[in-house]
Amino acid sequence: MTFLYTRSLKRNRMLRRLTILSVIGTALFLYLTQSSWLEQTATDNDDQRSPRPHIANHHWDKYHPNYRGTGHGMTTGSSSNNGEEEDEQLDVAVPRGYVLDSLRQMRGSKAYNMRSSNNNGAQVPEKLQEVVHVDATVKQIKPDEKILAPAQQQPQPFHQQARQQQQQGQQKAMSKFAGEDSVYRLDQDDKYLPPGDGTSPDERYLSFMPHSGFHNQRIALVNALYLASRLNRTLLMPPVVLGEPIHWRKYDSLESFHRRSTKANLGYCREYLEAYYNKDESVHIPGNCVSSFGHTSLRWDRLFDMSSIKQRIRVRYRDDYDRTYLQRKYNIQHAETYQVKDELLYDYRIADKKGQSLGKYQREIFIGDLEQRKERLISFGSLFGTGRVMFTEPGSDELRKFLYGQFVFSRHVLPSLFDEADAIIASMGGKASYVSMHARVGDSIFERFSSQVMGKLWADLQKYVPLVRATTAGDSYQYNRQDTLDTATCLAPPTDRSAKAVDWDTKTVASGRPLVIFMATDAPVPRSHPLFEQIFATFPCVVTLSDLYDFKSSALASLVNPTDGVRYGKFLVPFLDGLIASHGQEFTGSMWSTFSSYIRFLHDQYVLQAP
């Protein structure tokens, strides 16, 4: 009996262990599959709220003849874009599981980071594009503070409710745009807009959703303006988002992200701005407020002179992504929308002629098909990408050149930026008295492939190596190749201020001083970056913005978006870096970088084409 009783105890222990393992396995399975179910449920619920719009990508076989599945590398086309060099940008295929909605995956957590998926085993395609920040960390968001509408939020103490109501009342009194997202807009922006209020059923529209950094948003806007002009539609122009980049997502997810990122209900966060900027640790700042301070939205008119564009192409503003905004503002019903949804970063290309190579794109949408659409609104997801819109009809090249030419920084729009740039350029000896470079190593794919980026940049800089040894009879300086000169010596006034940095006829430094190289970079501390050691060791006069500029005492520090209180001047510092680099005699950029392409474009405008 004792023997049988012992066997029974062992059997019971084994059964308990198996039961526990089964429960754990079931829970893990449910957790891993929850996000997909929630995503599908949310999509289904969205469809049930209002009449279903027309969706463009349900003819998969028709529009995806060359589809190879997601996650594969894409080849690059050879289209010309008059301002952006496609062969020097990054093209990255995005895996199907690129980003799931972290708020739905982990909605029970209090604070978390949303990270894009990272397939380390995938082979890197030959040509990449910087828009995908696969290693970037997205700002922390509290679900109960960020997603829920005010009526759904958790109850707050009475004094917090009263304070929030008071500040919301102040905002309504200050702005006629109360209840909309906190976009920096001015009444003067309405000049040159189409007549009427935009609610006429005869006015047809085109829209898209921006993502990624500033320069990729600019490329997408140029494509949208180009397409709106061809379709004879009014473009609903979204604001530019500065600060934390918006990573590319599929159409529905990107639209949802923009809705969740609104600051319309975050007026109470303004009271924490002073503590945030002063780094006052004694004040507890709500997590959603901290997240909102990391970015701000401006109409494009705050950065560029948009008057010529608005006189040539019909434009109205889309300052909010709320579900009802288009209906309230322009009387566009959900059922009057034709959605062109993208499943990949480079999903579709729009063209007016068949038989052209798709290049990195997976399908082609013909302009004639879009012209036949009767819906009031054609809504695109991403329009980023060189070669995204390909027109061959007469006048197309002229229009594209015109559009790119409008996105040049101008003094009357950004006087503070140019005042700072002028002072620094003058301290370096003036325009063309130095050469410049852009080293992109600090984020995203550029950080992961920084050795390749810097290897190519180093090879491009070899033409300047003989110049660090060259001297002339009248030179007052003598140095060896391994010396690093102080900033005062490097920036000594040139003997001839009208001379350029390099005289290539004699292959000497023409300014009567050491060759000065200005390095624009996103590296926080350039002089201690290991990949820059060889550059600093070889060229004795490499100067960076941190050597010459103090943000806290500059005019940029005073720039504030009055609608959300965010000091957006800090987001313009990279523009200052690029503006200085664009005024060098010659410019050498980082491969794949749209920022380098833009600096080169500015260099053409400010130096090569300047009188």
pLDDT one-digit tens code per residue, 391-449: 988 889 999 999 999 999 999 999 999 999 999 999 999 999 999 999 998 776 787 88
Q: What span, in angstroms and rounded, lies between the C-alpha atoms of 314 and 316?
A: 7
pLDDT, position 487: 80
Q: Which of 162-171, 244-253, 320-329, 338-347 has the lowest mean pLDDT?
A: 162-171
pLDDT, position 16: 79
**83, 152, 257, 579, 606 from 217: Cα distances, Å:** 15, 33, 16, 18, 22
Q: Which of 84-93, 370-379, 386-395, 518-527 has the lowest mean pLDDT?
A: 84-93
CB 581 within 8 A of CB 570: no
Residues 6+ apart with CB under 8 A from 608: none
Burial class (CB in 10 A: 0-12, 13-18, 19+), 500: buried
Residue 126 has pLDDT above 80, yes or no: no
Q: What span, in angstroms and rounded, lies between the C-alpha atoms of 470 and 8?
A: 93
Q: Higher pLDDT residue, 107 or 314?
A: 314
| Tokens found for residue 482 | 């391994």
Cα-only R_g, the chain: 28
Q: What angle do CA 414, 85, 353 make, to 5 degrees?
A: 110
Sign (positive or negative) of CA dihedral 65, 71, 77, 81: positive
Residue 67 has pLDDT above 60, yes or no: no
pTM: 0.74
What number of other Cβ atoms are within 10 A of residue 335's Cβ?
Answer: 12
Burial class (CB in 10 A: 0-12, 13-18, 19+), 130: buried
**Beta-strand relationship, 315-317 and 234-237:** parallel
Helices (H), ranges, 372-449: 396-406, 415-427, 444-448
pLDDT, position 341: 97
Q: Which of 87-96, 377-386, 475-484, 585-594 has the lowest mean pLDDT?
A: 87-96
The answer for 377, left when phi > 0, alpha when psi is -120 to 50, beta otherwise, is beta
CB 340 within 8 A of CB 19: no
pLDDT, position 20: 81
CB 556 within 8 A of CB 576: yes
| Tokens found for residue 579 | 């503006």
Q: Binning pLDDT at 50, 70 and 90, where does residue 508 land?
A: confident
Average pLDDT score over residue span 280-304: 96
Q: Higher pLDDT residue, 427 or 102?
A: 427
Q: Higher pLDDT residue, 40 or 184?
A: 184
CB 461 within 8 A of CB 437: yes
pLDDT, position 484: 64
Q: Binning pLDDT at 50, 70 and 90, where does residue 493 land?
A: confident
Q: Binning pLDDT at 50, 70 and 90, where does residue 305 land?
A: very high
Considering only CA atoms, which of 410, 81, 318 is closest in space to residue 222?
81
Residue 369 has pLDDT above 90, yes or no: yes
Give residue 265's identity as a one-letter amino acid code. Answer: N
Q: What is the dihedral of CA 179, 182, 184, 186, to 10 degrees?
A: 0
Common-topology check for domains 187-406 and 415-608:
yes
Report the chain's mean pLDDT, rounded to a whole number: 78
pLDDT, position 54: 66
Residue 275 has pLDDT above 50, yes or no: yes
Residue 31 has pLDDT above 80, yes or no: no
pLDDT, position 380: 98
Boundaries of every domain in the chain: 187-406, 415-608
Q: Higher pLDDT residue, 507 or 573?
A: 573
Domain 187-406 in CATH 1.20.120: no
CB 501 within 8 A of CB 419: no
CB 115 within 8 A of CB 137: yes
**307, 489, 512 from 476: Cα distances, Å:** 51, 11, 8
Q: Binning pLDDT at 50, 70 and 90, where does residue 175 land?
A: very low
Q: What span, in angstroms and rounded, lies between the C-alpha atoms of 535 and 545?
A: 16
Q: What span, in angstroms and rounded, lies between the C-alpha atoms of 461 and 538?
A: 10
Average pLDDT score over residue span 365-383: 97
Considering only CA atoms, which of 129, 118, 136, 121 is closest in space to residue 74?
129
Q: Binning pLDDT at 50, 70 and 90, where does residue 303 land?
A: very high
Q: In a 3-state reduction of DSSP, which class is residue 237?
A: strand
| Main-chain dihedrals φ then ψ at residue 542, nearest 5 degrees | -95, 120
Q: What span, in angstroms and rounded, lies between the C-alpha atoms of 170 and 183?
A: 17
Residue 92 has pLDDT above 90, yes or no: no
Q: Higher pLDDT residue, 553 or 104?
A: 553
| Top-confidence range, 97-106, 172-181, 255-264 | 255-264
Strand ranges, E, within 347-466: 348-351, 363-366, 377-380, 389-390, 435-439
Residue 548 has pLDDT above 90, yes or no: yes
| Top-confidence range, 99-103, 507-511, 583-587 | 583-587
H or E element that contains 67: none
What number of other Cβ atoms are within 10 A of residue 270's Cβ?
Answer: 19
| Main-chain dihedrals φ then ψ at residue 567, nearest 5 degrees | -80, 100
Q: Binning pLDDT at 50, 70 and 90, where does residue 176 land?
A: low
**326, 523, 550 from 198: Cα distances, Å:** 10, 45, 45
Between the two ends of the chain, the Cα-to-Cα distance in Å is 108
pLDDT, position 564: 96
Residues 6+ apart with CB under 8 A from 9: none
**141, 205, 234, 336 from 315: Cα distances, Å:** 33, 9, 5, 19
pLDDT, position 431: 94
Residue 277 has pLDDT above 60, yes or no: yes
Average pLDDT score over residue span 202-221: 96
Average pLDDT score over residue span 194-212: 97
**179, 211, 345, 410 from 407: Cα distances, Å:** 30, 18, 24, 9
Residue 129 has pLDDT above 50, yes or no: no
Q: Binning pLDDT at 50, 70 and 90, where does residue 25 land?
A: confident
Largest alpha-carbon pair distance within the chain? 111
Residue 39 has pLDDT above 90, yes or no: no
Q: Binning pLDDT at 50, 70 and 90, where does residue 529 land?
A: very high
Average pLDDT score over residue span 88-100: 38
Q: Binning pLDDT at 50, 70 and 90, where does residue 15 land?
A: confident
What CATH class does 415-608 carry?
alpha beta
Share of the chain above pLDDT 90, in %: 57
Q: What span, in angstroms and rounded, lies between the C-alpha atoms of 438 and 432?
A: 16
Residue 170 has pLDDT above 50, yes or no: no
